[in-house]
Amino acid sequence: MTQQVLTVLGSTGSIGVNTLDVVARHPEKFRIFALAGHKQVEKLAAQCVQFQPKYAVVADGEHAAKLAQQLAAAGCKTEVLHGAQALIDVASAAEVSGVMAAIVGAAGLPSALAAAQAGKTIYLANKETLVVAGALFMQTAAANGAKVLPIDSEHNAIFQVLPHDYQGRLNAHGIRSIILTASGGPFLHADLATFDRITPAQAVKHPNWSMGQKISVDSATMMNKGLELIEAHWLFHCPPDKLEVVIHPQSVIHSMVRYRDGSVLAQMGNPDMRTPIAYCLGLPERIESGVDALDFGSLGGLTFCEPDFKRFPCLKLAYDAMHAGGGAPCVLNAANEEAVSAFLAGAIRFTDIARVVAHALAQDFSDGLDSIEALLTQDAQTRADAQQYIAALGG
């Protein structure tokens, strides 16, 4: 294996930190070209000292000045860049072979798309890219020979149990359906009457996974599974009616593929993102990830149940947006991002998240938006409308 040269976008987040943990175990296999950490200057400075990337990218000039100062004090030669164009530049630089796309939200779309345009291997954690711009992103990747490898644990599991020569051919491979497992989050059994009073601190406390705040709230509303349905639809060229969701609270089975002959293939493991990260970074080799072996003796049992749309209206909204297609998933995502940040800021209630998204989707968005400009315009419009609605709800 020749040494891979990596850009890690969102290096200071949960996926970014796990990625660097795997990378550090294999210095002969990976070299870091660039790290991007937005506003988390201290963490990014420490990462630069450890990995000595050529570039570090932050949000703006103010954060760049702070980072440059810290790096100079530490004697680190990493050059500091800032702004959205810098993310695109380090994602598409000629030296780079692979890009970990681990920025949270639609903010990760332009850089992930740039990596696709530049024909890189894309380690895709940023599911919002596929929700907002699935068709455009997959077409761009295919047209430029970019490989898209799924980091999201469910999609990584599916990727592992699909035939290696799958190429979107469900029928030819005798595949009946793709099954996404979901933990159900922290409120799977909570009394529905208490949902209005759920606090941000309760919502970000996921029973099995340790993740960033936004995806943790999405897991609590199950919007996360909805986004993942749309993600799977694009990644695996899978029609909506061949996608299933099953709740599996232990998060040991990370997803499954159901075959025509009655077989169901599952991928299992401890809930630790270093497994899917190592799988993708190592391909075709299986490399050490630091994840403990699964201990069947201490598992107890694996259980399953159906999702309940009354408890999880966001999941239903995502199903509907997937079926509507066109610009609907972009609208779903933008409204959800605004609603989640308003909830985290204490401006609206937990149950208002679904209200904000439903309100945004009340119009017909099924017409396709086929350029990045059209998608970003829709994204901005939806956010502005959602903010108005949020202000009305909060007041």
Residue ranges binding ligand NAD (CB under 6 A): 10-16, 37-38, 40, 102-104, 107, 125-128, 152, 209, 211-215, 273
* DSSP percent split of the chain into helix, strand, coil, nearest 5: 50, 15, 35
Pick one of Mg ion, ligand NAD, none as the site partner of residue 37 (Cβ within 5 to 8 A by kind). ligand NAD
d(CA 184, CA 182): 5
Pick one of Mg ion, ligand NAD, none as the site partner of residue 211 (Cβ within 5 to 8 A by kind). ligand NAD
Pick one of ligand NAD, Mg ion, none as the site partner of residue 40 (Cβ within 5 to 8 A by kind). ligand NAD
The smaller minimum CB distance to ligand NAD, of residues 35 and 317, is found at: 35
Does position 152 interact with Mg ion (CB under 5 A)? The reply is: yes
Residue 298 counted as an annotated binding residue: no
Residue 310 counted as an annotated binding residue: no
Non-local CB neighbours of 337 within 8 Å, separated by 6+ positions: 105, 106, 128, 214, 383
Residue 261, classed as helix, strand or coil, is coil
The smaller minimum CB distance to ligand NAD, of residues 112 and 390, is found at: 112
Pick one of Mg ion, ligand NAD, none as the site partner of residue 166 (Cβ within 5 to 8 A by kind). none
Sheet holding 98-101, edge to edge: 79-82, 55-58, 30-38, 4-9, 98-101, 121-124, 147-150
Residue 66 counted as an annotated binding residue: no
Pick one of Mg ion, ligand NAD, none as the site partner of residue 104 (Cβ within 5 to 8 A by kind). ligand NAD
Residue 36, both tokens: 């991007």
Q: Tell me: cis bond preceding 276? Omega within 30 of 0 counts.
A: no
We find the least distance from the C-beta atom of residue 320 to Mg ion, in angstroms, to be: 20
Residue 89, classed as helix, strand or coil, is helix
Pick one of ligand NAD, Mg ion, none as the site partner of residue 212 (Cβ within 5 to 8 A by kind). ligand NAD
The smaller minimum CB distance to Mg ion, of residues 304 and 388, is found at: 304
Q: Taken in order 339, 343, 344, 350, is the CA torsion positive or negative?
A: negative
Residue 316 counted as an annotated binding residue: no
Residue 225 counted as an annotated binding residue: yes
We find the least distance from the C-beta atom of residue 235 to ligand NAD, in angstroms, to be: 13
d(CA 197, CA 116): 42
Strands 175-182 and 253-259: antiparallel
Q: Are 322 and 350 in contact (CB under 8 A)?
A: no
Binding residue numbers for 1-deoxy-D-xylulose 5-phosphate: 127, 153-154, 183, 206, 219, 224-225, 228
Binding residue numbers for Mn(2+): 152, 154, 228
Instruction: Note the residues at the interface with Mg ion (CB under 5 A).
Output: 152-154
